[in-house]
Amino acid sequence: MGSQEEYQPLLIRLDSHSQIPNLSSSAIEEFLEHKPVAVRWWPKLVAWESRLLWILSGSSIAVSIFNYMLSFVTLMFCGHLSALELAGASIASVGIQGLAYGIMLGMASAVQTVCGQAYGAKQLPAMGIICQRAIILHLGAAVLLTFVYWWSGPILIAIGQTEDIAAQGQVFARGIIPQLYAFAINCPQQRFLQAQNIVNPLAYMSLGVFLLHILLTWVVVYVVDYGLTGAALTLSFSWWLLVITYGIYILVSPKCKETWTGFSWKAFRGIWPYFKLTLASAIMLCLEIWYNQGLVLISGLLSNPTISLDSISICMNYLNWDMQFMLGLSAAASVRVSNELGAGHPKVAKFSVFVVNGTSILISIVFSAIILIFRVGLSKLFTSDAEVITAVSDLTPLLAISVFLNGIQPILSGVAIGSGWQAVVAYVNLTCYYIIGLPIGCVLGFKTSMGVAGIWWGMIIGVFLQTVTLIVLTARTNWDSEVVKAAERLKKSASAERLDLVTDI
C-alpha cells in the first residue's frame, strides 16, 4: 500500500492541474488504493479519466453518426414526398436494410477482434489478409441478402404489411441493393483502420460524404424529381463514395504501408473457421439490433398502419441517432476497461466504469430534454402531415425515456464486452428482449387501446430489465478476479502458437 512518504509525492502531482494528463494508470491505481480518497481529489480524477475517454470515443462517435445520418437524411426527404412513401421507405429501411445492418455489423466485430490481436502482436501483414477474408465473407452474405431485397414486396406482405406500403418498400429496397454491397466492403475497411487506431481520417471522410449526400439527395428529390427511387439510388451512391475514399486511404496512406501489402490468395485459406468466428460475434449484436427493428415491423400490423409506421419510424430514427452516439462511448468503455484489466489495474477499471456511465447519463438527460422541448419541430423535419405530427408528439415522452435508458444500457454492454462477458450478455438480451419485452409489447399494442404506444412500452420494459441485469452484474464484479482472468487471456493470446492459429483462421 505504501507509506505516507510514498503517498505524498503522488498527492502533490495530483494537486497540479497541468500535470494531471501526464499521470499514468499505474499512478492513479496507486492513488485509488489509499482509502478513503478525499472529496477534493475526485474532480481531478474524473478529469483524467474523461480525457482518455474522449480521446478514444470522439472520432468514433463522429464516424457512427455521420454514416448513420446518410439513411436518416434520406428518410427525411422521403417524408416530404408523401406519408405513404415515407412508410414504405421506413419499413424497407428497418425491416430489410436493418436485417443486413445487423448481420454485417455483427460479422465485422470479429474483424476488429482479430485485427486488433494481430496489431498488438506486431503481425502487421496479417491484418490485410484478415480484412480481405472478411470482405469475401461479407460479399457472400450480400449475395444471399440480395434475394431478400429484390423480393422485399412479397416478404413484407407475408409478414402482414399492406400492399401499398409493401409496394413502396420494394421500390426503395431495390434501389439500395448497391448500398448493400458497399456496406459489405465498408464494414471490414472501417474495423481494419480502427484496429490501428486510425480514427480521425475516418471522421473527416465520413463528414465530407455526408455533406455531399445532403446536396445530392436534395437535387435528386426536389430538382430532378426522381422520387423514391432516386433517393434510394443516391443513398447507394454515397455509400460507394465511402468505400472508395476509405480504399484510397488504405492504399496510399503511410500508416497502412505495413498492414496492407496488397491482395493475396491467402485470404481464401481458412474461410470456414473464420466464418464460425464471425457467426458467433454476429449473434449477440443481432439480438439487440433486430429487437428495435422488429417493433417497427409489428407496428405496421396495427390499425391505420401508415400513421403507426410513420410515427414510430420517425421516433426510432431519433433513438437510433442517439444510439450511434452512445455506441461510440460504449466502444471507448470497452477499450478502457480491457486495457486497464490487462495492465493489472482493477481499481482504475472500476473507476472507468463509473466515469463513462456518469458521462453518458448526463448526455442522455440533455438529449431527453431536447426531445421534450422540440417535440413538434422534430416531427416536422420528417413530415408535414398533421396527423403524423400529432402521433409523433404523443410518442415523444416514451422516446425521452428510451433515450435516457440508452445512456446506461449500451455503456454497460461495452463494459461487459471489455470484460469478456459476451455469452452472458447474449443470454440477457434474449431473455429481456424476446421472452419478456416483445410479448408484453404485443399484448399492450394489440389487446388494449394503447396501439403503437403499447408496443413502445414493451420495448422500454425489455431495455429496462436488461439494464438492471447488467447493473447487477457490474456491481457484483470482483475486479481483482477480472484482472487475473484478463492476464490468463493475454498469456494465451501472446503465445506464438495462439497467434499463428488466429492469423491462419
Spatial CB neighbours of 368, under 8 Å, sequence gap ≥ 6: 400, 401, 403, 404
User: Contact at 8 Å (CB) between 63 and 199?
Assistant: yes
First to last CA, the chain: 44
One DSSP character per residue, 129-146 reads: HHHHHHHHHHHHHHHHHH
Give pLDDT, residue 234.
93
Grid look-up 486511404 returns 249
**pLDDT (tens place) for every residue of the chain, 505 residues total:** 444 444 444 444 444 444 555 667 777 777 777 767 667 777 778 887 778 778 777 777 888 888 888 888 888 888 777 778 877 887 788 777 877 877 887 777 767 666 765 665 567 787 788 888 889 888 988 999 999 899 988 888 887 777 888 888 888 989 999 999 999 999 889 888 877 777 788 889 999 999 999 999 999 888 888 888 899 999 999 999 999 999 999 999 888 888 888 777 776 776 666 676 667 666 766 777 677 666 666 776 766 666 777 777 777 777 777 777 787 777 667 667 666 665 677 777 777 878 888 888 888 888 888 888 887 777 777 777 777 788 788 888 888 888 888 777 777 766 665 555 656 777 787 888 888 888 888 888 888 878 778 888 888 898 888 888 888 887 777 766 766 654 554 344 333 333 343 333 3
Give pLDDT, residue 101.
79
Question: How many CA atoms, within 13 angstroms, populate the side-chain half-sphere of residue 490?
Answer: 16
User: Contact at 8 Å (CB) between 462 and 436?
Assistant: yes
Give pLDDT, residue 489.
43
User: Contact at 8 Å (CB) between 228 and 172?
Assistant: yes
Residue type, 244: I
Express the helix, strand and coil content of the chain in percent, nearest 5 each. Answer: 85, 0, 15
| Cα separation, 501 vs 1, whole angstroms | 41
Spatial CB neighbours of 133, under 8 Å, sequence gap ≥ 6: 267, 268, 270, 271, 274, 505
Give pLDDT, residue 186.
92
| Cα separation, 235 vs 67, whole angstroms | 11
Give pLDDT, residue 117.
57
Q: And the C-alpha cell for 91?
A: 419499413
By the 10 Å C-beta count (0-12 exposed, 13-18 middle, 19+ buried), 154 is classed as exposed
What are the sequence ranges of the domains in the chain? 61-261, 282-496
| Cα separation, 165 vs 335, whole angstroms | 43
Give pLDDT, residue 9.
47
